[in-house]
């Protein structure tokens, strides 16, 4: 080939290589932007640290005999918990609600205070929230948790769920050491519960204690785990897979908080472990991305669990109060 023609071919090949390289760069930038947008939509993360509870409520998988009988008092090790937190480091600068529970009573984990401390260090802008049945909280009794101990590890929102009890007769306010009159009362007709909220200051920061009185007869069927005689055909969207990350005590990323790792067919609704895969890879996997999209448009044709689920929230009650007043900071992918 003549030198001129040879140079022309070389130039053409180089141009093509450059174009391919540009395409790859654009593709990667697009993927990163997409992942950042997916991460940025998340406003609530729940991480389980054990799978046991001291109660057996009829409205909860932990109360059903098939699951309750198989539960063991194992909890996530500090090493594995740290690995999960590290895997979520993209959230280090973001405001979101973070709670350490998943179908369990968190205060049954003997190391729970340390785990909240670790979580607070990993996510300094997160609002640490404790979901509890309150049985292990008492202001003065030995062997129980006082509120100050919980606030002392960074918890800023304590949500106590009391089932099938009359607020007038409940001893919970005595155990908390806060007069019932110091709470604001709210009848939540949408969620069919009575809510008591008390704000106070702790070390210069506002903290919130909520006591919710709920009826086990009026709770959701947990994506069909709780069998009821009401025939349910789900309609409308579900924003949970887009807005929340629900991680069990083994590090599995679940479709939503209504999945229990011991329910029949659980594997279908779990999308890999944060102990083994990067959170970005799990969230951008074809199966998770497809499920996230389908639930966000209300197409449950390939999601059998969702088809019978009556759990419905448009907005998260984890964001009560302070969180909704502030726009979320961006997450880096």
Contact positions toward ligand SF4, by CB under 6 A?
A: 53, 55-57, 60, 62-63, 103-105, 133, 223, 234, 238, 240-241, 255-256, 258, 295, 305-306, 309, 311
Kindly tell me the burial class for residue 234, based on how many C-beta atoms sit within 10 Å of its own C-beta (0-12, 13-18, 19 or more).
buried
Q: Which two tokens stand for residue 97?
A: 């609600």
- Residue 195 near residue 185, CB atoms below 8 Å: yes
Residue 191: CA count within 13 A, CB half-sphere: 16
Q: Smallest distance, Å, CB 10 to ligand SF4? A: 55
| Closer CB to ligand SF4, 62 or 122, in the complex | 62
Question: Contact at 8 Å (CB) between 261 and 67?
Answer: no
List phi, psi (to 5°) of 246: -115, 115
CB of 30 to ligand SF4, least distance (A): 27
Least distance in angstroms from the C-beta of 130 to ligand SF4:
13
Least distance CB 108 / ligand SF4 (angstroms): 9
Quick count: other Cβ atoms within 10 Å of Cβ 118?
Answer: 19
By beta-carbon proximity to ligand SF4, the closer residue of 271 and 305 is 305
Would you list the DSSP string of 225-248?
TS--SS-----S---HHHHEEEE-
67 or 150: CB nearest ligand SF4: 67
C-beta separation of 61 from 225 below 8 A: yes
Q: How far is the CB of 61 from ligand SF4 (least distance, A)?
A: 7
Closest CB to ligand SF4 among 268 and 328? 268
At its nearest, how many Å lie between ligand SF4 and the CB of residue 231? 16
Q: Toward ligand SF4, which CB reaches closer, 130 or 255? A: 255
What is the rounded CA–CA span in Å between residue 43 and residue 275?
22
Minimum CB distance to ligand SF4 smaller for 99 or for 133:
133
């Amino acid at each position: 080939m003549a030198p001129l023609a040879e140079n022309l071919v070389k130039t053409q090949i180089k141009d093509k290589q450059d174009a391919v390289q540009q395409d790859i760069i654009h593709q990667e930038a697009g993927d990163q932007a997409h992942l950042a947008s997916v991460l940025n939509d998340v406003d609530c993360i729940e991480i389980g640290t054990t799978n046991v509870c001291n109660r057996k409520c009829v409205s909860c998988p932990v109360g059903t005999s098939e699951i309750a009988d198989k539960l063991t008092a194992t909890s996530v090790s500090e090493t594995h918990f740290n690995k999960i937190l590290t895997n979520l480091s993209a959230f280090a600068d973001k405001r979101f609600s973070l709670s350490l529970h998943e179908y369990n009573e968190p205060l049954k984990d003997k190391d729970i205070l340390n785990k909240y401390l670790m979580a607070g260090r990993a996510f300094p802008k997160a609002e640490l929230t404790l979901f509890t049945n309150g049985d292990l909280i008492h202001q003065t009794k030995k062997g129980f948790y006082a509120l100050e101990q919980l606030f002392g590890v960074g918890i800023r929102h304590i949500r106590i769920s009391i089932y099938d009890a009359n607020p007038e007769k409940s001893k919970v306010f005595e155990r908390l050491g806060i007069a019932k009159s110091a709470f604001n009362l709210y009848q939540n007709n949408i969620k069919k519960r009575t809510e008591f909220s008390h704000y106070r200051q702790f070390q210069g920061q506002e903290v919130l204690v909520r006591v919710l009185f709920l009826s086990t007869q009026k709770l959701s069927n947990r994506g069909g785990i709780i069998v009821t005689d009401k025939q349910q055909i789900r309609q409308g969207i579900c924003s949970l897979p887009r807005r929340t990350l629900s991680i069990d005590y083994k590090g599995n990323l679940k479709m939503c908080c209504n999945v229990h790792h011991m329910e029949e067919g659980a594997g279908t609704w779990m999308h890999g472990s944060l102990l083994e895969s990067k959170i970005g890879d799990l969230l951008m996997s074809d199966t998770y991305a497809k499920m996230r999209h389908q639930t966000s448009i209300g197409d449950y044709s390939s999601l059998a669990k969702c088809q019978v689920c009556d759990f419905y929230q448009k907005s998260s009650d984890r964001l009560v109060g302070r969180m909704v007043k502030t726009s979320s900071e961006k997450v880096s992918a």
